Amino acid sequence: MTVVDSREPEGRFRGSAQGTLVPPGADGPREDIGSTMSSVGSSVESAVEDLGAGRGPSWLDAWIGANAGRVVAWRRHIHAHPELSRAEHETTRFLAERLTSVGLQPRVLPVGTGLVCDIGPDPKPGQRTVALRADIDALPLTEATGLPFASTKDGVAHACGHDAHTA
């Protein structure tokens, strides 16, 4: 996730020069992100609230609460039908259908794999903007989990978490 407005609100995780995230009042590092940040040539100076802790916008928490079963089903479908990079045509179609079904207007990329979808109005000057990115490709691996929603494609599996990010 990219946070365009990176001002650090009081009481949120703070960054350090060593590339760690430290919760307010904690003595030590929480998560080492130095290698990720240094690879893009940035320093860790901003903080991002942990929305996974259930303190997201109320409309999002409510929607996820009401649709958790659907989201899990989407994740399991994506997991069971993995596609390698640059071949994610069916995954893209599936995502476009889901986004359209909830009233959004996804735009499939010209190559037919991947899409872009805006949520909400264009921001006005000075407003915060958040960009979310979810990879949809799988890895050239054989899944051996035995899960009921395991990969249905020999030699291709979502062993990377992209299925969860995307759902």
pLDDT at site 121: 80
pLDDT in tens, 125-140: 988 878 888 999 999 9
Q: Which of 53-57, 90-94, 159-163 holds the top average pLDDT?
A: 90-94
Interval 101-126: pLDDT, tens: 989 999 999 999 999 998 878 888 98
156 burial (CB, 10 Å; 0-12 / 13-18 / 19+) is buried
- Of 34, 36, 35, nearest to 16 by C-alpha is 34
Give the bridge partners for 130, in sequence order.
3
* Nearest partner of 50 among 30, 26, 74, 29, judged by Cα: 30
pLDDT digits (tens, 9 = 90+) for 71-82: 999 999 999 999
